[in-house]
Amino acid sequence: MSAFLLNPQLAADTTPVGDLALCRVLLMNNHHFPWLILVPMREGLCELFDLNPTDYQTAMQEVRDTAQKFAAITGADKMNIAALGNMVPQLHIHIIARYAGDSTWPNPVWGAGVKPEAYAPDALALMLEKTIQSLALK
């Protein structure tokens, strides 16, 4: 098994939050939406079903746990959870806090032409701190 390397586009678009047992947790650099990305730390996967059965079960538990805790700290009206990968082939799972009335509501956040905007440094630090604490990341 070759070493896990994060896709450069995912690395460029996000700030690392920490690692769960299987998935790396990333925060999207876009203050319009509280938006995490989970990347299973396995090389060469594109589809969810490329995960072996044990890893799939672990990944899905990490998705459930992360989504529930992120919903709580963000006060989201709805969580959007998706594995798309039409642009970035490395398997990754979006966990996005949505609010009725946010800038693309009720449409999805992708492909809507809303330009991503980075967090202000203080807002980024706060979001990272809350997420790290909530997910019990080190």
Residues in contact with a copy of itself by the rule CB under 8 A: 46-49, 56-57, 60, 63-64, 67-68, 71, 78-87, 98, 104-108, 110-112
Q: 82: Cβ–Cβ under 8 A, 6 or more apart, which residues?
A: 93, 94, 96, 108
Q: How, if at all, do strands 93-98 and 23-28 pair?
A: unpaired
Q: With respect to a copy of itself, which residue has the nearer C-beta, 96 or 119?
A: 96
CB of 14 to a copy of itself, least distance (A): 19
Q: With respect to a copy of itself, which residue has the nearer C-beta, 29 or 104?
A: 104
Q: With respect to a copy of itself, which residue has the nearer C-beta, 47 or 117?
A: 47
Q: With respect to a copy of itself, which residue has the nearer C-beta, 75 or 106?
A: 106
- The number of beta carbons lying within 10 Å of the beta carbon of residue 55 is 17
Q: How many CA atoms lie within 13 A of 90 on its CB side?
A: 17
CB of 121 to a copy of itself, least distance (A): 30
Residue of 45, 40, 34, 42 lying closest to 67 (CA atoms) = 34
